[in-house]
Structure 1
Amino acid sequence: MISIRRCAAWRLKWPEGTPKTLTRSCSLHSAADSLSFITRDELAMKVTDPAQRCGLDYLIVDVREPWDYSRLHIRSAVNIPSPLMLTMPADALLDRLAAAAVRASGQQLDLTALPGQLIFHCTVSLVRGPTAAVRLIEILRTTRSIKDKPEISVLDGGFKSWAKAYANDRKLVEGSDAPSG
């Protein structure tokens, strides 16, 4: 269950032009039941578990700006900056997520399918990451084009927490600032 503090934090800063329905979707009653949090250690186990297949079982969506993503990011994460997540038409966003899953898995997949779990994060996962997750929950509630609805999660503590624990682990991070050798 989402804490009231976190849900209230999502409403602090909404980008200009954000649809009114998105603001309402952040209420504790609507999206909270569909959103879960995953710890950095749980996610690290998922990323390193050979039985968990990126693009099929899960997909990590980093909503930070491209320059932050390019410097250092969770291995296999895809970058869809939060302004795009919040303004892209619903069908285009679902297509982009499905295409990212196909690329991550390296397999030819049905483009009407999403991985079993979508994990969103930003720097600290208090505003952008949860807001993107809530937007996707609302899209999935109204669309019939996706066969199986994925679990939607947010990385607790965001990338800052992840980097604090794993910034020097080449199995868990990649980017221009990632450790070499």
Structure 2
Amino acid sequence: MSFYTISDLGRITRDDLSQHLLSASPPPLPPHLAIVDVRDSDHVGGHIAGSTHIPSNTLDYRLPELLRVLRDKQTVVFHCALSQQRGPSAALRYLRERRREEERQREIEKEEGLKQQVVVLEGGFVKWQEKFGEDKRLTEAYAKDIWEHGYQG
């Protein structure tokens, strides 16, 4: 049984996330941050610079890899198109899997002084692209024509 619920998930605004990306040296991501994009076929048309695409339907078998790769990150941001279902669900699954390894993780946190924050991007990629879609520093592979009539998910 997991003790994590949706209320345990923090949120990050697109403006706050963009500031993290713009402060990165070297770009696109600061070393303490990871962004996990769990969109499926709606991933087409652009993505946040430096994000990792893990389609939601592959998350279960990719969780062990994510836990290993993201172990040293202070903040992990999950998002989907709207961050209403797939993004929060993926973040919860990630947190729950981390709980299974809690004893080992506590030792790592003691050694490294690391406490990982798992958050969801408010408004998902839909809101992100409305403001930052055409900013090549923040968004890669953006296709304006896909988004100009709104999200069709």
Give TM-score, length-normalised by structure 1. 0.65
Aligned to 2:64: 91
**Is 2:75 aligned against 1:117?**
yes
**Is 2:9 aligned against 1:35?**
yes
The residue identity in structure 1 corresponding to 2:38 is V
Matched residue of 1:88: which SS?
helix
Distance 1:93 1:57 in 2: 15
Match for residue 131 of structure 2 among 165, 168, 171: 165
- Residues 117-164 of structure 1 deviation map (CA, whole Å, 9 limit, x = unaligned): 000000000000000000011111120444234100000000000001
Distance 1:70 1:151 in 2: 28
Distance 1:39 1:33 in 2: 17
Taking a change above 3 Å as real, the CA distance of residues 173 and 151 of structure 1, as seen in their structure-2 partners, is same
Deviation at 1:93, TM superposition (A): 3.8
The residue identity in structure 1 corresponding to 2:21 is V
Q: Within 5 Å, which residues of 2 pair with 1:47-62? A: 47-50=21-24, 54=29, 56-62=31-37
Whether the 8 Å CA contact 1:121–1:128 is kept in 2: the answer is: yes
Aligned to 1:105: none
The CA RMSD over aligned residues, in Å, is 2.5
Match for residue 175 of structure 1 among 130, 133, 141: 141
Deviation at 1:168, TM superposition (A): 1.1
Matched residue of 1:41: which SS?
helix
Provide runs of 4+ in structure 1 moved above 4 Å. Answer: none
The residue identity in structure 1 corresponding to 2:120 is V
Q: Which runs of 5+ in 1 are unaligned?
A: 1-20, 102-112
The residue identity in structure 2 corresponding to 1:136 is Y
Deviation at 1:88, TM superposition (A): 1.2
The share of aligned pairs that are identical, in percent, is: 30
Distance 2:35 2:128 in 1: 13
- Number of equivalences: 135
Deviation at 1:69, TM superposition (A): 3.0
Q: Which runs of 5+ in 2 are unaligned?
A: 110-114, 145-153
Match for residue 47 of structure 2 among 73, 91, 104: 73
